[in-house]
Amino acid sequence: MNIDSLRDPLDRRTFVQRCAQLAFGLTVLPTLGSRAFAAPGPGYGKAKRIIFLQLQGGLSHIDSFDPKTGESKGPGEAIKTSADFQISSYLPETAKIANKIAVIRSMTAKVGVHASAQYLMRTGFEQRGTIVHPMLGAWAQHYLGSSSKTLPSSVCVNRPANHGNGFFPAAFSPLPILDPDEGLTNSAARVSADVQTKRVSLLEQLDSTFGEKLADENVKAYGDFYDSTLQLMKSTDLKAFDLGAEPSELREKYGRNKFGQGTLLARRLVESGVRFVEVQSGGWDMHKDIDDGMEDRGGEFDQTFAALISDLESRGMLDSTLVVVGTEFGRKPSFDGSGRGHHPVGFSTVLAGGGVKRGYVHGSTDAKGYGPATLPMTVGEFHATIGWAAGLPLEQEFMTPSGRPMTVGNKAKPAMAVFA
């Protein structure tokens, strides 16, 4: 590999991963420390960890958290909850824990194409061809440092990392877990401890020569990576990735599917020291047969989401863990008897724990559910709100390698009304 090519972060990551695979049998890239900040204000820094449930395809707000009557009404019914608001009959388990969540009914965006809308919800920025923006986990690692001495600070479940580090170093990319039942693969050493020691010694000699030829701050990260990888391999923290340690009854409660088990894995990881975990649920693009779609995919989400909130509460973790439910966009108010099209103008998201009000509804849509009637919230403001809960300095600019000043949430303000 040409030394000059290592100036590109993706090539650097490939280089480091290949060295790790040869030396240790691992593809994990541990995270590196940074800085910490503090500021006053309701909810600031209450969320020590974040679980982001990403519903890929576009959740119908009208058939979930913002039910309507009249021509917009779908096949479901509005039902009472444990809080002072109604949700769809497709979410009976969520209705039971509604007094522990905050529903944001006034989300609005301009992007109605899947890939671009998903990018916007994951980063808080509209997609551009000239720059890749980071996920919240990378922002948090930059400002707050690593969340664990051995475990990664960010993990994504049921999806690849997709350069979640953005313009931050490649070491800030989330660790991908494509199958929660398999957990962390390639974590066992393929060689003996003696062979590992010899390989590390050789790599250190190579690094010494390499570092003299290329004075770059990322070169030092290679040595830190080797040390951290060995720590991870020897650490008992690896058990956090093993769902087999959970009682069968609890695994059934979360749901024996990739989303359910991925969410249970997320709880295990944040409990062990991972700061940010994204769990993806696919299949929400319900152009046709929304009734069966909500019974199936909506039923999975309903069971898992309620189980997560109840589990965190029972462990005393909910107040310090922010659970986020995000989606690409909503679905059109016009219901043709089977499904609904894409609709970014108005949709719903959910927050729970981490200093957020319980049993609260933020904003509203008009009678048809077309767009916000009160307290509209952009995706940037949504990210700024999450960032505020995590204790991130929202107004502090980060200068990207290309010379562009960037902030968490793209200079948006947090919705302070959602905090207790």
- pLDDT, tens digit (0-9, with 9 covering 90-100), for 147-164: 999 999 999 999 999 889
Do 26 and 81 belong together in one domain? no
Do 213 and 307 belong together in one domain? no
Q: What contacts 362, CB < 8 A, 6 or more positions away?
A: 102, 103, 104, 105, 106, 375, 377, 415, 417, 418
Do 96 and 205 belong together in one domain? no
Domain final position from 205, 222, 241? 241
Residue of higher predicted confidence among 202 and 1: 202
Domain count for the chain, please give it.
Answer: 2
Contact (CB, 8 A) for 86 and 78: yes
Has residue 188 been placed in a domain?
Answer: no
Q: Cα angle vertex 298, ends 297, 300, to 5°?
A: 65
Do 308 and 383 belong together in one domain? yes
pLDDT, tens digit, 9 for 90 and up, residues 239-281:
999 999 999 999 999 999 999 999 999 999 999 999 999 999 9
For residue 212, the model assigns a pLDDT of 61
For residue 10, the model assigns a pLDDT of 46
Do 84 and 40 belong together in one domain? yes
Q: Which residue has the tokens 């009249």?
A: 70
pLDDT, tens digit, 9 for 90 and up, residues 278-295:
999 999 999 999 999 999
For residue 33, the model assigns a pLDDT of 41
Do 289 and 199 belong together in one domain? no
Domain final position from 241, 273, 307? 241
Has residue 392 been placed in a domain?
Answer: yes
Do 16 and 74 belong together in one domain? no
CA dist 199 and 13 (Å) reads: 19
Q: Look at residue 26 and tell me whether its pLDDT is greater than 50.
A: no
Contact (CB, 8 A) for 355 and 46: yes
Has residue 226 been placed in a domain?
Answer: yes
Give me the CATH number covering residue 265: 3.40.720.10
pTM metric for this prediction? 0.85
CA distances from 249 to 94, 140, 245, 294, 403 (A): 19, 34, 12, 25, 52
Do 109 and 15 belong together in one domain? no
Q: Which residue has the tokens 């990403």?
A: 54
Has residue 246 been placed in a domain?
Answer: no
For residue 214, the model assigns a pLDDT of 58
Has residue 385 been placed in a domain?
Answer: yes
- Give the ranges where 147-254 is alpha helix by DSSP (H): 193-213, 217-234, 248-254
Do 235 and 299 belong together in one domain? no
pLDDT > 90 fraction of the chain, expressed in percent and rounded = 75
Do 318 and 302 belong together in one domain? yes
Residue type, 123: T
Has residue 112 been placed in a domain?
Answer: yes
Do 413 and 266 belong together in one domain? yes
Has residue 75 been placed in a domain?
Answer: yes
Pairing of strands 101-107, 86-88: unpaired
Domain that holds residue 297: 32-183+251-418
Sign of CA dihedral 271, 348, 175, 213: negative
CA dist 233 and 21 (Å) reads: 13
Residue type, 409: G
Residue 57 Ramachandran class (φ > 0 left, ψ -120 to 50 alpha, else beta):
left
Which pLDDT band, with edges at 50, 70 and 90, does 337 fall under? Answer: confident
Q: Look at residue 83 and tell me whether its pLDDT is greater than 70.
A: yes
Has residue 100 been placed in a domain?
Answer: yes
Domain final position from 173, 208, 241? 241
Do 266 and 285 belong together in one domain? yes
CA dist 258 and 270 (Å) reads: 18
Q: Look at residue 398 and tell me whether its pLDDT is greater than 50.
A: yes
